[in-house]
Amino acid sequence: MSTGPLAGLTVLDLSRLLPGPFASWLLSDLGARVVKVESPGNPDYLRFLSDEVEGMHAGFATLNRGKESVALHFETEAGAEVVTRMAARCDVLLESNRPGVLARFGLDYPRLQAVNPRLIYCSLSGYGQRGGRAQMAGHDLNFLSLLGVTALTGEPPRVLGFQIADLTGGMLAALAVLAAVQERHRTGVGRHLDVSLADGAFTWAALGLARQLAGAGPEPDLLAGASPGYRYYRCADGAWLGVGGLEPKFQKRLGALLAEVWEGDWPDEIFTTTDPELHRQLEAAFARKSRAEWLAGAGDACIEPVLSPEEVARDAWLRERGLVQTVQGYEQPGSPLAPAFGLSGGTLPPPPGFHTRAWLRECAYSSAEIEALVESGVALVAED
């Protein structure tokens, strides 16, 4: 029995891949009971992409730990009836299909709301439930391109090494669910939540767009590489440093650090300028020593190493914060909320269908009805 802050909240998760499972991972680590419905006809193929953790992809093992698994062809009439009965017993339903897909199976919000008025039905899609792009396909790169985030990476545009829109969308879905739960305490009824990955990408460019929307026009983006005081610099050994000289006190400390190799007077302001010559001078200065040598004297100057994933995995500070946790003998990323609530890592995801029989019994199916669903292939159980 969970004792986390969301203990007592039950989430029916019909999503797959990254954004939806990330949202339900956050909720699960906070103590919610999450049951993942895996459709054999449209499986979460992240599970089978590789086998680093008990036959599963390591990312799948992290995103879906602590969750229960029901394997069900919910695109069939009998399978959709099972999901309907499950939804009647849950607080939240999370899905990540294009608008209208679940309506084909009778699993849209109006029909499920009729059997459970308290249900919070969260639809997490690419471009939202309405609007001219609602039915369009898209991936993280597309959302970032469309919403102005990619333009901030410079010319030519860069492909980033992580999925900003996917992860932001998942966080926003979890936040929307929690807001709806609070609202339900007042009203006694749930609601349909329309959350889109593109909407999440928009938030990343919002500060720059605020000027455009206010009619102020463009300006150099000092936080996107235009400022020599807020950039990455390569050291003598080929390693990189991230230099964040925003405030005057950090710019002064940076000047003291570079004094030994700096030629001429140290400028009073290195952040708000966009002088390319100052940028070249800083590049030449940092190229005089190795990363380790610079860090040895950096102190509290907002200078940090650009670490590789291998270096990050060895970082002791992450374990001190609880951001790396051991789950059944495997080290995994911890929830970003682990330090706030003292969260543990939970358990690894079970095989597909491990909880199918238990949930069918919980939904008042008789033993004979359960066996009929299993024998017909509508419901699958782990031992099969």
Marked catalytic residue, from 166, 194, 279, 355: 166
Report which residue type is found at 153.
Answer: T
Closest CA to 88 of 12, 27, 177, 21: 12
Partner residues linked to 231 by β-bridges: 243
Let me know: does 186 contact 39? Beta carbons within 8 Å.
no
Contacts of 259 (CB under 8 A, 6+ apart): 266
Report which residue type is found at 236.
Answer: A
Let me know: does 301 contact 253? Beta carbons within 8 Å.
yes
Let me know: does 151 contact 157? Beta carbons within 8 Å.
yes
Residue 17 CA to residue 22 CA, distance in Å, equals: 9
Can 139 be counted among the known catalytic residues? yes
Residue 335 CA to residue 321 CA, distance in Å, equals: 11
Let me know: does 229 contact 247? Beta carbons within 8 Å.
no
Cis peptide before 156 (omega within 30 of 0): yes
Can 315 be counted among the known catalytic residues? no
- CA dihedral 137→141→143→144, nearest 10 degrees, is -170
Strands 192-196 and 120-125, bridge-based pairing:
parallel
CA distances from 361 to 115, 151, 156 (A): 19, 53, 57
* Residues designated as active site: 139, 166
